[in-house]
Amino acid sequence: MTNSIREIPEAEVIFVIGSNTTEAHPVLALQMKKAVCGRGAKLILADPRRIELAGFAHLHLRQRPGTDIALINTIAHVIIKEGLHDLAFIEERTEGYEEFAALVGEWTPERGKEVTGVPAQEIIEAARLYAKAGNASIFWAMGITQHTTGTDNVKALVNLALLTGHIGRLGAGLNPLRGQNNVQGACDMGGLPNVYPGYQNVTDVAVREKFEKAWGITTADDRPRPNGSPSPAVRRLDTQIGLTITEIVDAILAGEVHALYIMGENPMLSDPNLNHVRQALERVDFLVHQDIFLNETGQFADVVLPAASFAEKWGTFTNTERRVQMVRPALEPPGEARPDWQIITDLANRMGADWSYESAAEIMDEIAAVTPIYGGISHARLERLGGIQWPCPTPDHPGTQYLHESKFSRGRGLFTPVEFEEAEELPDSEYPFILSTGRVLFHWHGGTMSRRSPGLESLAPQAEIEIHPQDAQKLGAQDGQPVRVSSRRGDVVANVLITPRSPTGTVFMTFHYAEAAANLLTPNYVDPVAKIPEYKVSAVKVEIVEEAVSV
Amino acid sequence: MLKADRIVQTTCSYCGVGCQLDLHIREEIIFRVEGRFDNEVNFGQLCVKGRFGYDFVHASDRLRRPLARASRRAEFSPASWDEALDRVANRLKGIRDQYGPRSVAFLTSAKCTNEENYLLQKFARTVIGTNTVDHCARL
């Protein structure tokens, strides 16, 4: 998020697109409700489904799944056509406007309606509301990013903020809502194949040399060693960008990756096209699974290492508004389980490293030394101040409430003309429905945590498939009846939930249930830049299951 | 009302909002969770998962000992930490030496702490020598 959670009620207009905020980020959604109900803010919701936020929305645009760019470009078209753009901001802070304006010039409301299915008048009204607001902020989540056009979807939203100058102020900005408790931190820490901690590029020679020095890598001898020579210690950091999660799966099947070390993840439930993932996990020569449970992925492992849960260790998580906060132990780990940082340190030392970390606080001190955006963060400071929002470059810096106040990271904000493209897999006569996947309030991700709470489980015990009443009637399906949902990749059985929440032609499932894993259906088509899979649009068919099937 | 033996302030481990909460512990069990008011994140509020979703910490099927097996067809048997970590170290070394550093891949975790994520990517990059470290940010 460029803004902070506490700024949400400061916006006059809140534009939520591709985020089911009340179910996936419920406590943050309370601030949106406060803005609307308590401050008179106007909420524009763009979502194919009639989610709970629709009840708070001034306008609900129900675009056809996968047509976000068409919708956003049309909104931009109207803003320019009606002269509602911020020319001074465009002049002072941005570049690339002319090319962008030329592209959206073609996105008339009529064309927008044709592609998205949203009435032209609603698009015009949304454009006016957003552009005329004193402060407006945009919120999105995986509904924007989990598409083969995910990166372009985000760029289209950035264009909208640059066009109107709704960025870099209290209550005005661009706010991606991060899913997992510490997905922001895992990215910040360089848990990505292209960057070191703090988004420093692995292909930048100066950066690489800085890390080689900081990490004590010997640079004196980098001669290639002949095959069969004794184990070489790492002499230079890898100069090539590594593989992403979906590429790792493919590389295992291609015989290029032979060992996989997994800490606290469950690709056998959360990755797309699970039958493909299963083949890779069976094929890989050596699989280490370090977790608090023996989950679906762990079943394939050679070695399983028991880890401490969040309630049993020291550390920090970084939330969606870039706030680093303390995690503190309340209990002893069960049995011989150990905190992940101790396990990794022990393993590194068995492989010739000389690591001497004695506490998570010490590790944070090293993070601060090599990561400029975390430069002023330490456990001692967090204990004293509570959370600190990065960038926080020095120990006397208070942290940063909102980003891009006077300039962007790259200098000028760049307009990127993005052209609409259809999703990779569209419904056809054999697979006539669009499947979208997501979450419900009562469960979390693969269900490893939430499904072990009897209270939560009793509220949402089984996999359901949301079907519009008209589609259910055509199928002859009754509420609660089991149906088989199939795609080109696999099939699952789930119970019908008849509801107008999903539009006709679109069905919705969650990915919480291992026994009816929606990701057996989803495709591994990915966005070419971010490599994010297209979970929000795939083609499926739905058939009545004649015999009784236990689900 | 039950009295806690101790109350520990921490950060919720479900979604990315990062609600501040108090774990109320009695006889080594989390028996109550309350939202904290002294912050600008959740202002005292919690959702149903944050308030009632922490049974998993005490689940009977938590992993308690390292497990290992000689082959994928065999059942897991308990191993000591020394046995398990030596096995991992030897196999990773062997595979790295035979096929090169890029033949080893790592998935770090959006559920683990910053410190742990930092260490695992440092391990991948300095001990093995590969940039192939990713996590479920895209999923």
User: pLDDT category, B139, cuts 50, 70, 90?
Assistant: confident
CATH number at residue B31: 2.20.25.90
Taking the Cβ of residue A215 and every Cβ of chain B, the question of whether any pair is shorter than 8 Å is answered with yes
pLDDT at A286: 98
Average pLDDT of chain B, as a whole number: 97
pLDDT at A548: 57
Instruction: Compute φ and ψ for A208, nearest 5 degrees.
Output: -60, -40
Distances (CA, A) of A204 to A194, A196, B83: 10, 10, 39
Which of 43-62 (B) contact A at CB < 8 A? Answer: 45-50, 52-57, 59, 61-62
Q: Are strands A200-201 and A195-196 parallel, antiparallel or unpaired?
A: antiparallel
Of the candidates A180, A238, A282, which has its C-beta nearest B111's C-beta?
A180
Look at residue A232 and tell me whether its pLDDT is greater than 80: no
Q: What secondary structure does DSSP assign to A6-57, as a single string?
A: GGGGG-SEEEEES--HHHHSHHHHHHHHHHHHHH-PEEEEE-SS--GGGGG-
- The answer to whether residues A242 and B134 touch, using CB atoms and an 8 Å cutoff, is yes
Look at residue A226 and tell me whether its pLDDT is greater than 50: no
Q: What secondary structure does DSSP assign to A324-380, as a single string?
A: EEEE---SPPSTT-B-HHHHHHHHHHHTT------SHHHHHHHHHHH-GGGTT--HH
Average pLDDT score over residue span A265-270 = 93
Distances (CA, A) of A161 to A10, A85, A138, A166, B8: 16, 10, 8, 5, 41
Alpha-carbon gap, residue A513 to A150, rounded angstroms: 25
Cβ-Cβ contacts under 8 Å for A542 (sequence gap 6 or more)? A433, A465, A467, A471, A475, A477, A483, A484, A485, A507
The answer to whether residue B15 is domain-embedded is yes
The answer to whether residue B89 is domain-embedded is no
Encode pLDDT of B45-79 as tens digits: 999 999 999 999 999 999 999 999 999 999 999 99
Of the candidates A193, A264, A335, which has its C-beta nearest B133's C-beta?
A193
User: pLDDT category, A217, cuts 50, 70, 90?
Assistant: confident
- The answer to whether residues A314 and A330 touch, using CB atoms and an 8 Å cutoff, is no
Decide: helix, strand or coil at residue A131. Answer: helix
CB-CB neighbors (< 8 A) of A364 in chain B: 114-115
Distance from CA of A104 to the nearest CA of B (A): 29
Look at residue B3 and tell me whether its pLDDT is greater than 50: yes
Pick from A227-241, A336-350, B106-120: least confident: A227-241
pTM confidence score? 0.95
Look at residue B137 and tell me whether its pLDDT is greater than 90: no
Structure tokens at A501: 């929440």
Average pLDDT score over residue span A458-470 = 97
Distances (CA, A) of B129 to A16, A238, A247, B117: 42, 6, 18, 16
Q: Do A248 and B136 touch (CB under 8 A)?
A: no
The dihedral formed by the CA atoms of A15, A325, A199 and B113, expressed in degrees to the nearest 10: -120
User: pLDDT category, A225, cuts 50, 70, 90?
Assistant: very low
pLDDT at A15: 98
Radius of gyration of chain B (CA): 20
Which of 234-273 (A) contact B at CB < 8 A? Answer: 234, 237-238, 240-246, 248, 251-252, 256-265, 267, 270-272
Q: Where are the domains of chain A?
A: 5-177, 183-220+239-389, 433-544
Domain count, chain B: 2
**The domain boundary residue, chosen from B43, B58, B73:** B58
Distance from CA of B90 to the nearest CA of A (A): 8
Under CATH, which number does the domain A433-544 receive?
Answer: 2.40.40.20
Look at residue A150 and tell me whether its pLDDT is greater than 70: yes
User: pLDDT category, A549, cuts 50, 70, 90?
Assistant: low
H runs (alpha helix) in chain B: 48-52, 81-99, 114-122
| Chain length of chain B | 139
pLDDT at A233: 61
pLDDT at A365: 98
The answer to whether residue B133 is domain-embedded is yes
Encode pLDDT of A486-502 as tens digits: 999 999 999 999 999 99
Alpha-carbon gap, residue A261 to A340, rounded angstroms: 13
Encode pLDDT of A169-196 as tens digits: 999 999 999 999 999 999 999 999 999 9
ipTM: 0.98
Q: Do B107 and A183 touch (CB under 8 A)?
A: no
Q: Do A25 and B15 touch (CB under 8 A)?
A: yes
Report the percentage of chain A scoring pLDDT > 90.
95
Look at residue A221 and tell me whether its pLDDT is greater than 90: no
User: pLDDT category, A3, cuts 50, 70, 90?
Assistant: very high
Encode pLDDT of A190-205 as tens digits: 999 999 999 999 999 9
Residue B108: domain span: 100-139
Q: Do B64 and A28 touch (CB under 8 A)?
A: no
Cβ-Cβ contacts under 8 Å for A387 (sequence gap 6 or more)? A319, A323, A324, A325, B18, B20, B39, B41
Encode B24-61: b = buried (16+ Cβ within 10 Å), e = exposed: bbeeeebebbebbeebbbbbebbbbbbbbbbbbbeeee
Interface test with B, best of A34, A139, A175, A245 (most B CBs within 10 A): A245
- The answer to whether residues A374 and A367 touch, using CB atoms and an 8 Å cutoff, is yes
Look at residue B87 and tell me whether its pLDDT is greater than 50: yes
Answer CATH for A183-220+239-389 from 3.30.70.270, 3.30.200.20, 3.40.50.740, 3.30.1130.10: 3.40.50.740
- Cis peptide upstream of residue A193 (ω within 30 degrees of 0): no
Q: Cα A334 from chain centroid?
A: 31
Of the candidates B88, B121, B128, which has its C-beta nearest A191's C-beta?
B121
Which of 79-138 (B) contact A at CB < 8 A? Answer: 79, 81, 84-89, 91-93, 95-99, 101-138
Look at residue A101 and tell me whether its pLDDT is greater than 90: yes
Average pLDDT of chain A, as a whole number: 95
Residue labelled with tokens 């803003």: A79
The answer to whether residue B76 is domain-embedded is no
pLDDT at A550: 55
Encode pLDDT of A6-28 as tens digits: 999 999 999 999 999 999 999 99
pLDDT at B138: 83
Instruction: Compute φ and ψ for A11, nearest 5 degrees.
Output: -80, 140
Taking the Cβ of residue A196 and every Cβ of chain B, the question of whether any pair is shorter than 8 Å is answered with yes
Decide: helix, strand or coil at residue A471. Answer: helix
Distances (CA, A) of A113 to A107, A524, B125: 10, 29, 49
* Topology given in CATH for the domain delimited by A5-177: Dimethylsulfoxide Reductase; domain 2 (3.40.228)
Distances (CA, A) of A443 to A103, A398, A447, A465, A551: 42, 35, 6, 15, 17
pLDDT at A220: 42
Encode pLDDT of A302-327 as tens digits: 999 999 999 999 999 999 999 999 99
Which of 478-517 (A) contact B at CB < 8 A? Answer: none
